[in-house]
C-alpha cells in the first residue's frame, strides 16, 4: 500500500517533465514563426524611418520580402525625392533590390554582403535638386549614408541590371533631357576580401545605351577603402546620333544638327586626391541647318558651319579635340590652349584615333605629385619615358603569354 502511494508522485513528475520537454520547443517554434511573420514589417518600418530622417528628402518602401534560408531580404518599391520637388518624378526609384550575404566570402572568413538592383532609375532634375528646403539644405552625403545604413553589413559585390540614369533641366527652351538606359554594371571586391598585390583591387565594368543610341562602356579598377577613393577608369561613348542632343546644343549654342555621330573618349586616374586625365570628343559626318529655322538661325548656323569646315579633318570628316584635365580634386584645371591646339592638330596634322589613347594609368596620378619640382619639359620627357617603359613591359607580357 505504501509502495503504491510513492509511485504516483514519480509518475506525475515524469508526465510533467514530458509536457515541459515538448512545451518549451513548441513555444520556441511558435515564437520563431511569429517573429518570422512580423520580421518584414519590422524591417520595413526601420527602413522607412531611415528614409524619413534624411534632411530635405522624403521616401519610403512599399514591401519587404525575407529569405532567411539564403540570408537575404528584398526591398520592393523604394523611392526618394526632395521634400520641395516641383515635379513628381522620384530622384531615386529602385523597384527591386536584393541584399544578401556573399556566401563565397564566408569561406575566406569575411562576412560581407552583395547587392543586385533590377531596373533602378536615378533622375537628376536640375530644378528639384537646386531648390532649397524648409528643413535645411539637402546634402548628398545624408542620403548616400542613409542608403548604406539600410544594408546591415559591408557591401562587397554590387550589380545593376537594366538601370537608367537621367539628367533633366526644365528652365531651358526647349527642355534638356539626357539619359542612359539599359545600364549593366558590375563592381567586385569592394571591401578587398580577396587580397592581392594589385594597387587597385576592385574591378568595375559597365555598359549602357545613351541618348541617340550610342554605345557606352566603362572599365577600370577602384580602391574604395579610402576617404578619397583611388581609381583608374577608361570610358567610351561611341556613335551616338548627334540630333538627339539638339535640345542641348540649341539651348547653349543656338545650333542644331540634321545628321552626325558624336563619340567621347576619356581616361582618368585618381591617386590620393590628385586627378589626371583627359576628355576627347569627336563629331563625325555632321551637317547643320534645317529648313525649319528662321533667317537669323540660318545665318548663324551657316557661320558655324563654315567654321566647322575649317576645323574639320577632310580625310575622316571629323572634328575632334582633347581636353587635358589635371589637379587636386578641389581645383581641377582644364588645359585651354592644349584644347585649342588639339582641334587644329586633328584638322590639319593627323586625325585622332577613334578610341581611348591608352596613355593614362594609375601611376600617372602619382607621377604628377612626385615630379612637382620638375620643369614642364622635364615632366613631359619623364612621362614619355614612363609610358615607353610600360608599353615595353606590356609587349613582353604578351610575348610570354604566347610562348
- For residue 77, give Cα distances in angstroms to 57, 59, 74, 101, 117: 16, 10, 10, 21, 11
Question: What is the distance between the alpha carbons of residues 353 and 370, in angstroms, rounded to a whole number?
Answer: 30
List the beta bridge partners of residue 255. Answer: none
Question: What is the distance between the alpha carbons of residues 81 and 56, in angstroms, rounded to a whole number?
Answer: 9
- Give the other-Cβ count within 10 Å of 382's Cβ: 14
Higher pLDDT, 211 or 315: 211
Strands of 245-361, DSSP E = 257-271, 274-288, 318-320, 323-328, 331-334
Query: What is the rounded average pLDDT of the residues 201-212?
Result: 93
Residue spans per domain, the chain: 41-195, 221-370, 376-403
Query: What is the rounded average pLDDT of the residues 32-43?
Result: 80
Q: Give the range among 125-134, 145-154, 218-227, 250-259 with minimum mean pLDDT.
A: 125-134
Q: What is the pTM of this model?
A: 0.73
Q: Tens of pLDDT along 264-312?
A: 899 988 888 888 888 888 888 877 765 555 555 555 555 455 555 445 5
Alpha carbons within 13 angstroms on the beta-carbon side of residue 52 total: 8
Query: What is the rounded average pLDDT of the residues 245-253?
Result: 78
Residue 380 has pLDDT above 70, yes or no: no
pLDDT of amino acid 349: 47
Q: Tens of pLDDT along 77-88?
A: 999 988 877 777
Q: Residue 34: pLDDT band by 50, 70, 90 thresholds? A: confident
Question: What is the distance between the alpha carbons of residues 256 and 96, in angstroms, rounded to a whole number?
Answer: 39
Q: Residue 109: pLDDT band by 50, 70, 90 thresholds? A: confident
Counting other chains too, the contacts that 47-50 makes at CB distance below 8 Å and 24 or more residues apart are 47/75, 47/78, 47/150, 50/146, 50/149, 50/150
Higher pLDDT, 6 or 364: 364
Amino acid at each position: 500500500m505504501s509502495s503504491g502511494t510513492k509511485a504516483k508522485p514519480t509518475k506525475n513528475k515524469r508526465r510533467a517533465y514530458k509536457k515541459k520537454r515538448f512545451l518549451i520547443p513548441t513555444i520556441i517554434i511558435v515564437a520563431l514563426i511569429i517573429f518570422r511573420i512580423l520580421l518584414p514589417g519590422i524591417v520595413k518600418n526601420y527602413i522607412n524611418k531611415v528614409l524619413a530622417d534624411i534632411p530635405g528628402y522624403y521616401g519610403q518602401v512599399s514591401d519587404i520580402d525575407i529569405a532567411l534560408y539564403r540570408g537575404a531580404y528584398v526591398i520592393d518599391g523604394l523611392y526618394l525625392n526632395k521634400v520641395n520637388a516641383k515635379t513628381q518624378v522620384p530622384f531615386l526609384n529602385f523597384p527591386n533590390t536584393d541584399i544578401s550575404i556573399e556566401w563565397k566570402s564566408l569561406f575566406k572568413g569575411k562576412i560581407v554582403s552583395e547587392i543586385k538592383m533590377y531596373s533602378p532609375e536615378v533622375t537628376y532634375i536640375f530644378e528639384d535638386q537646386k531648390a532649397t528646403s524648409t528643413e535645411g539644405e539637402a546634402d548628398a552625403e545624408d542620403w548616400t549614408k542613409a542608403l548604406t545604413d539600410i544594408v546591415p553589413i559591408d557591401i562587397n559585390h554590387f550589380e545593376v541590371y537594366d538601370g537608367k540614369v537621367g539628367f533633366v533641366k526644365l528652365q531651358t527652351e526647349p527642355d534638356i533631357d539626357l539619359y542612359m538606359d539599359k545600364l549593366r554594371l558590375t563592381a567586385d571586391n569592394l571591401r578587398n576580401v580577396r587580397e592581392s598585390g594589385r594597387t587597385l583591387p576592385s574591378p568595375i565594368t559597365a555598359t549602357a545605351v545613351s541618348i541617340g543610341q550610342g554605345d557606352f562602356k566603362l572599365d577600370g579598377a577602384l580602391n574604395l577603402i579610402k576617404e578619397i577613393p583611388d581609381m583608374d577608369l577608361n570610358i567610351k561613348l561611341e556613335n551616338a546620333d548627334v540630333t538627339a542632343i539638339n535640345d542641348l546644343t540649341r539651348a547653349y549654342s543656338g545650333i542644331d544638327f540634321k545628321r552626325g555621330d558624336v563619340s567621347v573618349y576619356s581616361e582618368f586616374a585618381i591617386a590620393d586626391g590628385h586627378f589626371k586625365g583627359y576628355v576627347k570628343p569627336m563629331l563625325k559626318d555632321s551637317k547643320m541647318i534645317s529648313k525649319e529655322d528662321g533667317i537669323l538661325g540660318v545665318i548663324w548656323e551657316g557661320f558655324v558651319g563654315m567654321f566647322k569646315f575649317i576645323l574639320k579633318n577632310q580625310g575622316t570628316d571629323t572634328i575632334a579635340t582633347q581636353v587635358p584635365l589635371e589637379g587636386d580634386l578641389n581645383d581641377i584645371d582644364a588645359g585651354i590652349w592644349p584644347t585649342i591646339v588639339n582641334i587644329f592638330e586633328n584638322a590639319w596634322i593627323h586625325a585622332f584615333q577613334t578610341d581611348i589613347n591608352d596613355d593614362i594609368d594609375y601611376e600617372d596620378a602619382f607621377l604628377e605629385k612626385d615630379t612637382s619640382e620638375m620643369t614642364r619639359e622635364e615632366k613631359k620627357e619623364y612621362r614619355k619615358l614612363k609610358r615607353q617603359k610600360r608599353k615595353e613591359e606590356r609587349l613582353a607580357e604578351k610575348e610570354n603569354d604566347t610562348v
